[in-house]
Structure 1
């Protein structure tokens, strides 16, 4: 693909090692342009080595892009429709006599196989995330009784940010008791009581790359976020063990050359067999990198062929409305001999 335009911040960062909240990246044959406004041009020029930094009209950066396209004489331009609203695309494409090629998520497609450098960064992010899980677990163990989800969420954000040294991959999910039956639960005034389940889904960004992990535990005197969990309630134990077996089955199914939907099926079959199939309501995983959700999708309809150095989550779950929910998630690297769990 010789000619394309990008506006997404992570896509820009991947292209040239710099991004900001108001910029356009334009590739025209052998030439590349990073168009931004005067607030960012100095820093951009210091960092970017593989593109010409141009100052555009702060109110309309696309005006500069249009002029460059006209001057170049190109016949076609690829774009990701997800990056555009209707008004901006209409204004940009008006009277440009070229072929606009819709290429959904083409930047993520370029990033689907990670380099060894990216993998090292991702592994460090995963380790920082794992450490934060431990520290948040220790906080809850000693000070969690009676805390509500809003305050627990606040404490989780503070711990995962590591005193401002790290960014968050996403707003943490801290779900207590019956709220854990909501896969993406929002924090409420629900308070933590002894014997209740705690679901924590959280991650950090290290050098722009994300980590993602979920653990489910029971709040008692032995509280921790390890995978081995012992529940006094037999029903909770059955659900937890089913999810754990489903994750193990999916991890075992990770092999170069299989289709992503086969990994999803491995997890889903375990949960179906245990009688909880209707309560596994999301896909088994998603890619992780500069975006917290990127390619590949590990779902029941995904025909993506798994390749070495892909990075994605394995996160089966069972969610029983008004009772509790369990999810166990790890981020993995596809290696020649199967899945390598990070962190």
Structure 2
């Protein structure tokens, strides 16, 4: 019933827009609507004159599609699934919407060729993405489980990391443990950035070694039951029982000060989250703290983004964003400060928006820590 209900909801939106049908080709959207997890699919939802839905795929997924798909009839296409989907849409609807943000120029040309009707395809961007913004109870449960496993993996890794390890070694160990623990995949390429490299917000893990005195930014997430998690923690590699070398004392103090500023900004943004608040307000809550501390110009990206079946979904939590938070939406809160060629700090939680606040899905320790 879950997927059938989603298709009905989409059909209602199509009727509201006086759009007879919609072609869905973005695979996360297809999965959301039908449950199908294969790598090739085109779904047509017809709203008028009578609601119907048909999913087209190829022979590799004959068994899988019939097992997974709910709310739509499965058709195994002997040739192009996209072409057959378009042809079927042309027979059952006077017009069909498509999402330009998920359609290549080549695909659009193939779609038009398959139908042979001028003006049949019309832009209808983001209709399924809009439905995916608010998570239902089952989705929330999946995301809580993914976040919980993410926290456990982080805590377990902290006792294993040692000075002189390579960034790639840490990333590989984390991903190995994640798969052993049941993760289907990583949400994105794991970021391990130490020392000077932590000043790069999206630094890939390299052969660089982690040294005493370094700040290390660890940004990772897993996929569990199709849903993504996302979390970032920054921690320091200490000197053990040895005192901080005199030449590093000033930097050590500065790193700690910036860390505390980022932590305060991150908490301010979390505190600003609740249903009905504009995303731009959440961004400003974080940005104003860092500006007040003198680090505003070093915060070079948005405060966060939506998370779900994809690691980046709407809404965008940025300073110019007009999106308004809704209860049931999952977003990240991840302000950072990056001093070029020196070091950087980012702290990130995934949070579930509620009517009166935020449920932090990744509540593992995020204060200053020296390993």
TM-score by length of 2: 0.85
Task: Work out the CA distance in 2 between the residues paired with 1:40 and 1:255.
Answer: 42
CA distance in 1, matches of 2:292, 2:55: 53
Q: Are 1:38 and 2:56 matched, yes or no? A: no
State the distance in 2 between where 1:177 and 1:159 align.
24
8 A Cα contact 1:75 1:98, kept in partner: no
The root-mean-square deviation of aligned C-alpha atoms, in Å, is 1.7
Alpha-carbon separation, structure 2, partners of 1:177 and 1:104: 42
Q: 2:74 aligns with which of 41, 53, 59?
A: 53
Question: Does 2:212 align with 1:209?
Answer: no
Range with greater deviation from structure 2 (145-154 or 121-130): 145-154
**Aligned to 1:174, what secondary structure does the other structure show?**
strand
1:291 is displaced (CA, Å) by: 0.5
Distance 1:180 1:77 in 2: 47
Task: State how 1:1-343 maps to structure 2 within 5 Å.
Answer: 1=14, 3-29=21-47, 30-58=51-79, 60-72=80-92, 74-94=93-113, 95-140=116-161, 144-162=162-180, 165-220=183-238, 233-343=252-362
Q: Unaligned stretches of 5+ in structure 2? A: 1-13, 15-19, 241-249, 363-371
Q: What's the CA shift string for 1:4-43, capped at 9, x where partnerless?
A: 1112221111011112111111112211111011110222
Partner residue of 2:366? none
* CA displacement, residues 108-145 of structure 1 (integer Å, 9 cap, x when unaligned): 211001111111110111000000111221220xxx22
The answer (yes or no) to whether the contact 2:21–2:89 under 8 Å persists in 1 is no
Q: Distance in 2 between matches of 1:200 and 1:235?
A: 20
Describe the superposition over 1:91-115 as per-residue Cα deviations: whole angstroms up to 9, x where unpaired: 2113223442323332221100111
Question: For residues 165 and 188 of structure 1, do their structure 2 counterparts lie closer, same or farther at Cα, with a shift above 3 Å needed?
Answer: closer
Helix, strand or coil at the partner of 1:35: strand
Runs (5+) with no aligned partner, structure 1: 223-230
Q: Give the Cα–Cα distance (whole angstroms) in 2 for the partners of residues 323 and 243 of structure 1.
A: 16
1:284 is displaced (CA, Å) by: 0.3
Distance 2:68 2:76 in 1: 15
Aligned partners of 2:217 and 2:234 also within 8 Å:
yes
Question: Could you tell which deviates more after superposition, 285-294 or 164-173?
Answer: 164-173
Change (3 A) 1:336 1:208: same
Counterparts of 2:306 and 2:179 in 1: how far apart (Å)? Answer: 22
Aligned residue in 1 for 2:368: none
Counterpart contact for 1:3–1:77, Cα < 8 Å = yes
- Please state whether the residue corresponding to 1:40 is helix, strand or coil: helix
What CA distance in whole angstroms lies between the structure 1 residues aligned with 2:185 and 2:204? 20
Q: Is the 8 A contact 1:160 1:203 kept in 2?
A: no
Runs of 4+, deviation exceeding 6 Å: none
SS at 1:139 equivalent: coil
Instruction: Give the number of equivalent residue pairs.
Output: 330
Q: Structure 1: how far apart are the matches of 2:183 and 2:314?
A: 27
Question: Does structure 1 retain, via aligned residues, the 8 Å contact 2:183–2:223?
Answer: no
